[in-house]
Structure 1
């Protein structure tokens, strides 16, 4: 076999492999229009309301809040850890920063305005924002993603949350499954 034929076969094989890889990547990352990326994330949110170093603090409340079974009118500021597992000592991947308020007169539900800021891997410096009702007593529950920055710029999507552990003195650990839709940065 001549060198020219061997070189031609090698070029054809490399081209076929690259075409297959590009098709697989396009299929996994883009929708039918070819201009969106779908990202899925799994992490745990640690809202620590008690103990020596709380990560959630009540900053305001209505006059009747303490008489309400749902704490209606309470407003809480948070800076909570995001980890890869439910154990608070598992790898930290970011912070949830924002606020939530008790918005239910008769059932415990929160209105949440929170940015989830990532500090690890390719998502370091990227964030997405959630603005939604969080019906804490339901599991699972769905919340809306309304924007983002970095790799999640112009994100839209949803969060499926499940309470892993909770008590009134310590706080809560919540598992988050997130699906984000974003525009591709490079066409």
Structure 2
């Protein structure tokens, strides 16, 4: 399975938001964000919708550019969800995040996904998950 996640944090239709600001202005430590991001088959935001990713991000490190990611993916035409959870060192070119479970046809799934931020678009970023 491969999909492109479109994280829109500004504009008229944001899909992610900061719900708790960082504890101080020197680091982002303590910042909490939520997301309900569009997933597409190809990288352009107007390509075929294949699902949604919903969850939260917590900037939980004082010493690195990393956040705790907990995200549930719902794919169009599939019965069930896939749950991703773990540290995401977002400044690394390629990251690995754990797949810790699922529901429906994805029940008991486990493994990992590789993710990379492949670009930006007005008001957001694009990441690929494989």
Which TM-score band applies after superposition, normalised by the shorter structure?
over 0.9
Report 1:31-180 matches (<5 A). Answer: 41-64=1-24, 67-69=25-27, 71-120=28-77, 124-166=78-120, 170-177=123-130
RMSD: 1.5
Aligned partners of 1:63 and 1:110: how far apart in 2? 15
Aligned partners of 2:86 and 2:76: how far apart in 1? 24
1:45-79: CA deviation from partner (whole Å, max 9, x where unpaired):
11111111100011113432xx134x111100100
Structure 1 gaps of 5+ residues are: 1-40, 178-187
Question: When the two structures are superposed, what TM-score results if normalisation uses the length of structure 2?
Answer: 0.93
Change (3 A) 1:63 1:137: closer
Q: Secondary structure of the residue that 1:89 maps to in structure 2? A: coil
Q: Aligned pair count?
A: 130
Aligned partners of 2:50 and 2:102: how far apart in 1? 16
Structure with the largest fraction of strand: 2
Structure 2 gaps of 5+ residues are: none
Aligned partners of 1:68 and 1:155: how far apart in 2? 39
Which structure: larger Rg? 1
- Structure 1 ranges of 4+ moved more than 4 A: none
2:23/2:29 contact within 8 Å kept: no
Structure with the largest fraction of helix: 1
Q: Secondary structure of the residue that 2:11 maps to in structure 1? A: coil
Could you tell me how far 1:125 is from its partner in structure 2? Answer: 2.9
